Amino acid sequence: MSIRRAAPQRPLVLIVALLLSALGAGCNDEPAQRKAFIEFLQTRIIDKPGLHVPHLTQEETASFGDYAKQYAVITDFNDGLDKMVATPMAEAINRGSIRSLDDVVSRHADFIAARDGIAKLHDAIEKQLAAAEAAHAALKQPDDLKPVFDKAYDRDVTIPAKAFEEIFPDLSQALSAIVDLGDFIDKHKDKVSIVGSQLQTTDPALRPQLQAMIDALTAKSEAISKAQERLRQVMNGS
C-alpha cells in the first residue's frame, strides 16, 4: 500500500497573496485619489463664485477613496446649516416682518415667537461650527491637499457661518424692538393710537419715549436689510 503525499501548498498561497496585493494596490491608488479630490475642490468650489457645496456622486466617492470622508466635514456642516439655521431663519424673518403698524399689536405673539426662535438658531449655528472646526482640525492631509482643502473649507464653512453670525444680533434686537413697541402701545392704549402709517399719542410726556422706540426700530430694520444683502452676496458671490 503506497501513501500519496499532498502537494506543497506554499506556491498556491504565494500566488493568492500576490493577487490580493495587486488587487489592493489597484483599489487604493492614493496619489490618483488625492489628485482627483484636489481637482474637484479647486474647480467645483474654489474657482466658482459664491457658495457651492456639491454632493458627491457614487463615481466621485469611489474615485476619492478615503478623501470622500474628509469632504463630508464640509457637506455635513452645510446640510446642518440649511436644515437647522437657514430655513428656520427665513421662516423667522417672514414671521417677524412688519407689513403695517397694525401688525405691531395684532401680531404681537408672532414677533415674540420669532425673537425667541432667533436665539435658538444662534446656539444651533455655534454648535454646527464647533463640530466642523473640531473635525477640520483632526484631518490628516498631505502638503499639496491641505491648502486647497482649507480654501474650500473657508469658502463653504467659515465665510457663511460668519455671515449668519453677523445677522443675528441686529435681527434679534429688531424683533425685540418690535415686541417692546407692542408692549408699550398695549400698556398705553388709552393714550397711544395708530393712525394710518403713524403712531400718535395724546400725552406729550410719552412722545420722547415713543419716538426713541420708533427710531431704534427703524435703525435695526436698516441694519437687517444690509445684513441680508451681505448674506446674498456670500451665497451668490457678487
Provide the domain count of the chain. 1
Query: Is residue 225 assigned to a domain?
Result: yes
Query: Is residue 19 assigned to a domain?
Result: no
Query: Is residue 47 assigned to a domain?
Result: yes
Phi/psi of residue 193, each to 5°?
Answer: -140, 160
The mean pLDDT value for 17-42 works out to: 73
Q: Per residue in 108-139, pLDDT tens?
A: 888 888 888 888 888 888 999 999 999 999 99
Phi/psi of residue 56, each to 5°?
Answer: -70, 140
Query: Is residue 16 assigned to a domain?
Result: no
Structural domain that includes position 108: 30-236
pTM over 0.85: no
The mean pLDDT value for 48-76 works out to: 94
Q: Per residue in 149-173, pLDDT tens?
A: 999 999 999 999 988 888 888 888 8
pLDDT the model gives residue 238: 59
Query: Is residue 11 assigned to a domain?
Result: no
Query: Is residue 14 assigned to a domain?
Result: no
* Residue that is written with C-alpha cell 444662534 in the block: 122
- How far apart CA 227 and CA 182 sit, in angstroms, is 24
- How far apart CA 48 and CA 63 sit, in angstroms, is 22
Query: Is residue 58 assigned to a domain?
Result: yes
Helices (H), 48-201: 58-64, 67-81, 87-95, 101-106, 108-137, 146-153, 159-187
Could you tell me if 159 and 169 are in contact, meaning their C-beta atoms sit under 8 angstroms apart? no
Query: Is residue 24 assigned to a domain?
Result: no
